[in-house]
Amino acid sequence: MDTNARPAVRGGSTGTAADGAGTGRFGALSRGLRRRAARLAGVAGIAVSALAAAFGLAGPGAAWAAYPEKPITLIVGYAAGGGSDFIVRSLAPFIEKELGGGTRVIVMNRPGAGGEIGFAAIADAAPDGYTIGLINSPNVVTIPIERQARFSLDRLDPLYNLVDDPGSFVVHKDSPYRTLADVAAFAKANPNSVTVGTTGIGSDDHLAMLVFQRLTQTRLTHVPFPGSADAHRALLGRHIQVTAMNIGESARAREGDPIRILGVMTEERSAQASDVPTFKELGFDVKMSSLRGLAAPTGLPPDIRAKLVDAIGKAVLHPEFQEIARKAYQPLRLLPPDQYAAELKTQEATFRTMWKETPWLK
């Protein structure tokens, strides 16, 4: 799942797709230097290679330029202003610092299709370390299960998980629904009349809505949005009646917006909103959350992958980043590559079984 971030955030660099490709303020200079280097290499390449070999400086995969030598594009598959966008813009400056050398990390929003457009852009990118992105589960797992997607999970290389954000149901403060039971009772008496905003088909929001619908034997109307910020604005404008969104987003939003959180989808109450009861407490056994982590296209050179993972691993432990996350109600769950990949594989198996038993796409 992917509300407007309230705290001021020292975000990473932003720009257009052209900036991400190296045509920003350093782009023209970089291209000129590369052309000049190529000409020089054509004249002296053999001699230089021989000299390097003689001194043991060259080896398989050796590169003359230190990584990174141009901006890194970080793709977010959801609209600006949501929890996914917030966490990467908060983290980007710390990744830049850890990579050093004046590195720029340009955050690019590629919303649509429940995150598929952004996930596919990551998977399709050259595996050179200059394109990474945020992937969100269950979307990144469920989309290839439910339809012929433009990406697959095995084309993405999980680098580091950042957040594990449980779901919640939110209504406008003026709503007649004061409890989950109110929503269920009205929906049962008025099938398809309760509209629920989510971040797309197969998202954790959508799946949670379907589980609630099954438990209550009701029929709700699903309204998908490009991101949680869009769904939240629709709720504030009273265009929808309920928003399914992560507790980190809803807890942050209620600081300034007229909303009511009806319940959180965890086993125990969330530290982000300890006053909000769990769905289970209220008689509805719904547990759902969204992992948000960084990934790259598969096939990164090992040295570049190691440098990226090391920089991200240090960046997420920076006290200033952790304080930003805490103040913004972002529930961090830091998983290095192997643990993150294993978690995604477990989710994939779980949702494949769920799809066979109760498909969520009809």
Taking only the tens place, the pLDDT of each residue in 321-332 is 999 999 989 999
> For 222-246, what is the mean pLDDT?
94
Residue 186 has pLDDT above 90, yes or no: yes
Strands 221-224 and 156-172: unpaired
What confidence tier does 354 reach under pLDDT thresholds 50, 70, 90? confident
Interior CA angle at 129 toward 124 and 130, to 5°?
A: 75
**Contact yes or no for 119/77 (Cβ under 8 A):** yes
Pick the range with the lowest mean pLDDT from 74-83, 102-111, 292-301, 308-317: 74-83
> For 101-109, what is the mean pLDDT?
96
pLDDT at 168: 97
Taking only the tens place, the pLDDT of each residue in 207-223 is 999 999 999 999 999 99
Pick the range with the lowest mean pLDDT from 10-24, 68-82, 188-202, 306-320: 10-24
**Same fold? 13-17+66-164+290-357, 165-289:** yes
Residue 281 has pLDDT above 50, yes or no: yes
Reply yes or no: is the peptide bond before residue 258 cis, omega within 30 of 0. Answer: no
> For 187-207, what is the mean pLDDT?
93
Under the phi-then-psi rule, with left for phi > 0, alpha for psi from -120 to 50, and beta for the rest, what region is 131? beta
Mean pLDDT of the chain: 85
- Extents of the domains making up the chain: 13-17+66-164+290-357, 27-63, 165-289
pLDDT at 35: 41
| CATH architecture label of 13-17+66-164+290-357 | 3-Layer(aba) Sandwich (3.40)
The domain defined by 165-289 folds into D-Maltodextrin-Binding Protein; domain 2 (3.40.190)
Q: Which residue has the tokens 């991101």?
A: 227
